[in-house]
């Protein structure tokens, strides 16, 4: 019997090069073991297998030497590649991305653990992190790192899991129809959570939010699905609840299976009409309660008792850049800069802490992306809400002009910038000790750099 360290090392093994070569019907021979899989050469370590993906800006084939220098052992490359191997074992395949997905699907199929798939327009990562905290004492689990939920990062997550986990917590993201379906084919969920559906990626959906909701609902096509926890939004829920044969569990409204009520600083869960215990949660923002409620619903479905959930809920923490409170130079920054939809922005504006007496609330906002025909009105809606909730507006990007117009129409003033550094200089001249500053915008703006 191996000792504790030996068991841990056994769990870390990712197979042999020979097994991978055989899977792709290659006649390459090697007895070396794989320690990890990567798509970023900077993450290669001794024993890594690298997938040389071609992106919009870079080609993974240009980084094989770096993988070799970091003591990687193999790389999957396009079959047309005729460059140097740099000592790596090269497996030539028709399409590197498809091969990554096929390998992950094959590996996951042999595992015994259940998959929990989390999708929706807002709150996927927060829900995953909350769920991990509530479940980690009861199950050996794997959770996808950061917000890795794409066609490339989800299969990579699976390959890097140790494999003997009882639960796999996976975010499933999309920007277009069919992408969730493909992720479900790779990793069919046994349980699903669908958070709130909102105005995200509507540029790619001529039918607007209805199309987004239908595409998110592809998660219900999983043949392994036992139960799905779904936010009861009038639009999304009605279009989703009829899909699939699994048990549907609703949350978020008074008519739902699970609903939250506030009693001063505490909340309690109403479970199918019956009041549950009181929770004193370690975060104040009401708009994050729906993420918590979804987790409670799934935990109860998995058999957790109320006492366990109440105790573990005290340890809940928000992921980085999600309504994160940062005090700098006496200014209270609410760093909600990871991303922005109209719904999440309105929720953030409605849950801001109060500034000190006589001080102001400022709003730093970067334009929202991929909204298509809904863009202008969505930005105007944000501007109107900002005028009600804040005193001063600082925007980044031309797409914010409708926000600025709606804000100024209410008799308030703001500033519009086109580069982050100039905005930063203006922000720290404008903000004063005792003020509250909300930072919110599309991920691509990297507004969190304002606090560096």
Which of 38, 63, 93 is at the close of a domain? 93
Residue 2 lies in a domain: no
Q: How many domains does the chain have?
A: 3
pLDDT tens per residue, range 189-220 = 999 999 999 888 888 999 888 899 999 999 99
Exposure string of 209-234, with b = 16+ CB inside 10 Å and e = fewer, is: bbbbbbbbbbbbebeebebbbbbbbe
The mean pLDDT value for 16-34 works out to: 88
Token pair belonging to 361? 């609330």
Token pair belonging to 211? 């199309």
**Of residues 412, 262, 394, 399, the one with CA closest to residue 342:** 399
Q: Is the same domain home to 208 and 298?
A: yes
Q: pLDDT grade, residue 283 (50/70/90)? A: confident
Q: pLDDT grade, residue 188 (50/70/90)? A: very high
Q: pLDDT grade, residue 238 (50/70/90)? A: confident
Q: Is the same domain home to 285 and 188?
A: yes
Q: State yes or no: pLDDT of 8 exceeds 70.
A: no
The answer to whether the CB of 352 falls within 8 A of the CB of 325 is: no
Which CATH number does the domain housing residue 182 bear?
3.40.1190.10
Residue 353 lies in a domain: yes
Q: pLDDT grade, residue 2 (50/70/90)? A: very low
The answer for residues whose C-beta is within 8 angstroms of residue 243's C-beta and 6 or more apart is 217, 220, 221
Q: State yes or no: pLDDT of 234 exceeds 70.
A: no
Radius of gyration of the chain (CA): 24
Task: Please provide the average confidence, as pLDDT, over all residues in the chain.
Answer: 93
Which of 54, 70, 93 is at the close of a domain? 93
**66/86 Cα distance (integer angstroms):** 9
Exposure string of 161-181, with b = 16+ CB inside 10 Å and e = fewer, is: bebebebbbbbbbbeeeebbb
Q: State yes or no: pLDDT of 235 exceeds 70.
A: no
- pLDDT given for residue 13 in this prediction: 54
Q: Is the same domain home to 137 and 243?
A: yes
Residue 5 lies in a domain: no
The mean pLDDT value for 260-281 works out to: 94
pLDDT tens per residue, range 318-359 = 999 999 999 999 999 999 999 999 999 999 999 999 999 999
Residue 132 lies in a domain: yes
The mean pLDDT value for 131-146 works out to: 96
**27/22 Cα distance (integer angstroms):** 7
pLDDT tens per residue, range 378-396 = 999 999 999 999 999 999 9
Q: State yes or no: pLDDT of 6 exceeds 70.
A: no
Q: State yes or no: pLDDT of 422 exceeds 80.
A: yes
The answer for residues whose C-beta is within 8 angstroms of residue 44's C-beta and 6 or more apart is 38, 50, 66, 67, 70, 71, 72
Q: Is the same domain home to 203 and 345?
A: no
- pLDDT given for residue 123 in this prediction: 92
The mean pLDDT value for 109-132 works out to: 96
Lowest mean pLDDT among 211-215, 270-274, 362-366: 211-215
Q: State yes or no: pLDDT of 9 exceeds 60.
A: no
Which CATH number does the domain housing residue 346 bear?
3.90.190.20
The answer for residues whose C-beta is within 8 angstroms of residue 435's C-beta and 6 or more apart is 331, 332, 355, 356, 359, 360, 361, 362
The answer to whether the CB of 344 falls within 8 A of the CB of 439 is: no
- pLDDT given for residue 203 in this prediction: 87
Q: pLDDT grade, residue 31 (50/70/90)? A: confident
- pLDDT given for residue 247 in this prediction: 96
Q: State yes or no: pLDDT of 21 exceeds 50.
A: yes
Share of the chain above pLDDT 90, in %: 84
Q: Is the same domain home to 335 and 266?
A: no
Q: Is the same domain home to 83 and 113?
A: no
Q: Using CA atoms in the order 406, 410, 415, 416, what is the torsion angle rounded to 10 degrees?
A: 10
Class of residue 413 by CB neighbours under 10 A (exposed 0-12, middle 13-18, buried 19+): exposed
Host domain of residue 213: 103-313
Q: pLDDT grade, residue 10 (50/70/90)? A: very low
Would you give the distance in Å from CA 130 to the centre of its chain? 12
Q: State yes or no: pLDDT of 1 exceeds 70.
A: no
Q: State yes or no: pLDDT of 291 exceeds 60.
A: yes
Q: Is the same domain home to 88 and 204?
A: no
Q: State yes or no: pLDDT of 12 exceeds 80.
A: no
Which of 93, 119, 148 is at the close of a domain? 93
Residue 442 lies in a domain: yes
Q: Is the same domain home to 53 and 194?
A: no
Q: Is the same domain home to 172 and 115?
A: yes
**388/45 Cα distance (integer angstroms):** 52
Residue 263 lies in a domain: yes
**414/349 Cα distance (integer angstroms):** 16
pLDDT tens per residue, range 72-90 = 999 999 999 999 999 999 9
pLDDT tens per residue, range 171-185 = 999 999 999 999 999
Residue 52 lies in a domain: yes
Q: Is the same domain home to 290 and 230?
A: yes
Q: Is the same domain home to 237 and 202?
A: yes
Q: Is the same domain home to 79 and 109?
A: no
The answer for residues whose C-beta is within 8 angstroms of residue 162's C-beta and 6 or more apart is 11, 12, 142
Give the global pTM. 0.91
Residue 381 lies in a domain: yes
Alpha helices, DSSP H only, in 136-220?
153-160, 179-186, 209-216
Q: State yes or no: pLDDT of 11 exceeds 70.
A: no
């Amino acid at each position: 019997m191996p000792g504790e360290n030996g068991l841990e090392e056994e769990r870390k093994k990712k197979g042999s090069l020979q097994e991978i070569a055989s899977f792709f019907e290659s006649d390459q021979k090697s007895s070396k073991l794989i320690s990890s899989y990567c798509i970023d050469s900077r993450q290669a370590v001794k024993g890594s297998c690298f997938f040389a993906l071609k992106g919009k800006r870079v080609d993974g084939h240009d980084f094989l030497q770096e993988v070799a220098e970091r003591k990687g052992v193999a790389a999957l490359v396009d079959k047309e590649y005729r460059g140097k191997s740099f000592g790596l074992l090269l497996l030539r395949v028709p399409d590197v991305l498809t091969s990554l997905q096929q390998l992950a699907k094959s590996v996951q199929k042999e595992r015994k653990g259940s998959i929990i798939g989390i999708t929706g327009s807002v709150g996927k990562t927060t829900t995953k992190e909350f769920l991990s905290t509530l479940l980690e004492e009861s199950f050996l689990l794997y959770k996808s790192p950061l917000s890795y939920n794409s066609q490339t990062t989800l299969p990579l997550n699976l390959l890097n899991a140790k494999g003997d986990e009882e639960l796999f917590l996976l975010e499933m993201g999309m920007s277009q129809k069919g992408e969730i379906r493909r992720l479900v084919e790779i990793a069919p969920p046994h349980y699903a959570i669908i958070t709130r559906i909102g105005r995200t990626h509507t540029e790619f959906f001529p039918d607007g939010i209805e199309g987004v909701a239908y595409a998110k609902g592809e998660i219900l096509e999983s043949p392994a699905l036992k139960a799905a926890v779904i936010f009861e939004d009038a639009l999304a829920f009605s279009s989703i609840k009829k899909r699939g044969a699994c048990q549907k569990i609703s949350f978020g409204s008074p008519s739902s299976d699970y609903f939250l009520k506030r009693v001063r600083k505490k909340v309690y869960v109403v479970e199918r009409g019956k009041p549950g215990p009181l929770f004193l949660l370690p975060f104040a923002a009401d708009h994050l309660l729906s993420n918590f409620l979804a987790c409670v619903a799934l935990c109860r479905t998995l058999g957790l008792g109320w006492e366990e959930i109440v105790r573990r809920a005290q340890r809940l923490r928000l992921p980085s850049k999600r309504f994160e409170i940062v005090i700098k130079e006496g200014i209270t920054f609410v760093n909600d800069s990871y991303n922005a939809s109209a719904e999440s922005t309105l929720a953030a504006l409605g849950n801001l802490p109060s500034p000190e007496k006589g001080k102001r609330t400022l709003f730093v906002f970067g334009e929202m992306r991929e909204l298509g025909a809904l863009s202008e009105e969505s930005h105007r809606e944000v501007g109107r809400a900002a005028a009600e909730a804040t005193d001063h507006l600082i925007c980044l990007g031309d797409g914010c002009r409708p926000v600025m117009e709606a804000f100024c129409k209410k008799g308030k003033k703001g500033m519009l910038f086109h580069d982050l550094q100039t905005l930063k200089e203006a922000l720290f001249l404008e903000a004063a000790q005792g003020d509250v500053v909300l930072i919110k915008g599309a991920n691509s703006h990297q507004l969190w750099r304002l606090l560096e």
